[in-house]
Chains A and B, each alone.
Chain A
Amino acid sequence: MGGKRLLMALAICGSHAAWAAGPPIELGMISSLSGPIGDQGSEYANGAKLAAEAINRDGGIAALDHRPVHLNVVDDTSIPSVTRTLAIKLISSDKVPVILGPFASGPCMAAAPVGEQQQRALICSAASDQVTQQGYRYVFNRATLAGTFTYAGFRVLDGLSKSSGLDLKKVAVIYEDGAYGTSGNAQATKAAADAGVTITDRIAFHTNTADLSPVVNRAVASGAKALLLMVYTGDGVNIVRAVRTAKAPVLILGSGAWDSTMVKMGPPADGMVALSDWNEDVAKPAVAGYREAYKKAYGDYPGPSAAWGWSDMYFLKAALEEAKSLDPKTIRDTLAKLKTKDDPGLAVEPFNSYGFDDDGLAIGQVDRVIATQLQNGKFVTIWPEAVATAKLDTSTLK
């Protein structure tokens, strides 16, 4: 075992010796390694670090004399004011030419003006569309927007109706009455019409309502075959329990952000469908190897955020190769134009192209969304068929 490790280490050292031709390229990375979104932010950073190691093993940035990359990762503790300070530090003191991150909408909004003023590109990850609606030239948003999932939800129901032969095209929309739910509900009419889905009822409720069974009863009574939920995790738990308590034969369509909580709920959550933009079983050849490499490096299998970090780092590598320069403006211009296809970063994603539109938002938003279903305690990909590993389990719909 020890000999094997040594041989591997030697092979790695050998490859470094063959490639290394200069000091590492220092790249900035701001993520939330602690605080409320620390779990996902840490995964995001780990995914990017894993990709950076793989890039260095494969010869670094070829267009820049095979220099290796080094991620200068800083923790904004999920606090936007800290994000802003760290962005200033990375740009002014550490002189990084580009920044990966910040990780969530609040931190992105805080750091965006800094990137714009200092003319340093940020590839941030914000579910809110506000980040790319400010006219910033140096701010790119790699995330799938929250509204995209609403739109895609109706497409998923149309697709699942066709593939399963069941009529799932009568939908009740249940949404929390805050900004998240109401903005999602506002998009529902057009999205439903585009997908040929009928909305039987729209029911708003106040988040953290103790008993959501009246809401569920009303939705089921409307004749809905599926419930599209635009709610937070805790309310999602209550709704799933209320549906199962009422033994209502409806498909529950929720968010992939709840996955770990729903798995912990046990059998009552089985059968629920979650919208996401990554799942561990995405049917692509490189996914299994990537998952094992991640587990070896960090002890746990990766979640969606880790895959984002991985593909973002590879996209940044492609940009550096294309730019052939560490000039911040050249890198920004390259990021704005570059469109990648089938590179190692995309090899673990359910979509096949990556780049940004004129506003700086990641392209192909709706096509990124996949549907997973909790089957026997595990989420499996059921839609679209190109990346699916299982079919819709209809046992909870009878």
Chain B
Amino acid sequence: MLVAILQGLISGALVGGMYATVGIGLTLVFGVVRIVNFAHGSFLMAAAYASWLMYERYGIDPYLSGLILVPSFFVLGVAYYWGLMRPMVGKSLLAQSLLTIAVGYVIDNTALGLFSSQMRVVAVPYAVASLSIGPIALPVTRLIAGGVGLCATTIMYLLLWRTGMGIAVRAAAADRPIAEAMGINTHSAQAVVTGIGIACAALGGVVLLPIFAASPSMGADFTFLSFLIIVLGGMGSFFGALVGGVILGITENLGATFFDGSTGHMLTFVLFVVLLVFRPYGVLVRRR
């Protein structure tokens, strides 16, 4: 029993770190650009497919493909901001949402057309490797995913709180007119943040590929998951994304260990409701 609980807690925390990698990009874009990017999971899916394609065609390890894909998706994210999101800054929530939902649909259906609905997997030897600590087995891919989540959160913190660019970005998020009056190009700052957000989604896709089978519908699943995480952690708070991810991961894992299907799954949402009742702005945000 104790072993099962420990296994559930540790595995859940690792899965949570993996979720945080996915959620952090979404919370970053919302926190600074103030647009909810419903296409976030679709970018993750596109990166997973790109990583699979590089593995399948050229034998490039999925983790190594991240060295190419993460910067590429950063550029794509910047272009996404200038081309589609910028005209929507300051517009109604409905208009913003419809635009990003439409972009998500376009990406998902393009993947469906190009790759069909067949699941795509990579046959990397470490997909079933694990480290054992006593009776607890930790899959290597989840250790990496959890570690990447922690690193991504720390880097985001350092970038936003310890650099000049971070000050500009936070100023643009806090009060755009004042920031512009101070000579900050707020649109450039927001474009960079969108690029980082999409790069985080790509990082999530790359890290998830050795764990999950890629499919065109995985984008929608991860967009939903990202929302749960960032609402739990607090919209716009990237440490909140990490905490939200870990809470979700542990609940899901312990739920699957001790309860059947729907009951275990329901636990996640019960916890979600309870936490929001007592912390309506998220676990790490006191008030807005």
Contacts and interface: CB of A to CB of B under 8 A. Distances in A.
Contacts of A266: 123, 125
Contacts of B261: 176-177, 203-206
Interface in A177-222: 177, 203-206, 208-215, 217-218
Contact of A234 (B8, B119, B264): B119
A37 interface: yes
A398 interface: no
Interface stretch (A240-248, A291-299, A311-319): A240-248
Given A210-B249, A213-B139, A204 B119 contact: no
Contact of A261 (B12, B119, B256): B119
B273 interface: no
B130 A265 contact: no
Contacts of A213: 11, 137, 139
Contacts of B117: 36-37, 39
B176 interface: no
A264 B256 contact: no
A360 B5 CA distance: 52
Contact of B123 (A39, A177, A204, A264): A264
B129 interface: yes
A302 B262 CA distance: 38
Interface string B199-214: 0000000000001110
Contact of A241 (B11, B12, B127, B221): B127
A244 B129 CA distance: 8
Contacts of B264: 205-206
B260 interface: yes
A148 interface: no
A241 B119 CA distance: 15
Given A205-B256, A210-B252, A264 B120 contact: yes
A237 interface: yes
A217 B118 CA distance: 28
B226 interface: no
Contacts of A214: 4, 7-8, 11, 253, 256-257
Interface string B113-137: 0001111110101011110000001
A245 B126 CA distance: 10
A238 B214 CA distance: 12
B118 A39 contact: yes
B221 A208 contact: yes
A237 B121 contact: yes
B212 A237 contact: yes
Contacts of A261: 118-121, 213
Interface residues of A, number: 37
Given A206-B264, A234-B215, A268-B128, A211 B119 contact: no
A60 B116 CA distance: 35
Contact of B256 (A36, A208, A215, A267): A215
A211 B212 contact: no
B221 A212 contact: no
A260 B129 CA distance: 23
A38 interface: yes
A209 B252 contact: yes
19 contacts: A39-B116, A176-B261, A177-B265, A203-B260, A205-B261, A208-B221, A210-B252, A211-B11, A211-B12, A213-B11, A214-B7, A217-B257, A233-B119, A234-B119, A241-B128, A244-B128, A246-B130, A246-B137, A267-B123
Given A177-B260, A210-B252, A237-B213, 9 more contacts: A177-B261, A210-B249, A211-B249, A214-B11, A215-B256, A238-B211, A238-B213, A261-B119, A267-B125
Interface of B: 4, 7-8, 11-12, 15, 18-19, 112, 116-121, 123, 125, 127-130, 137, 139, 142, 211-213, 215, 218, 221, 249, 252-253, 256-257, 260-262, 264-265
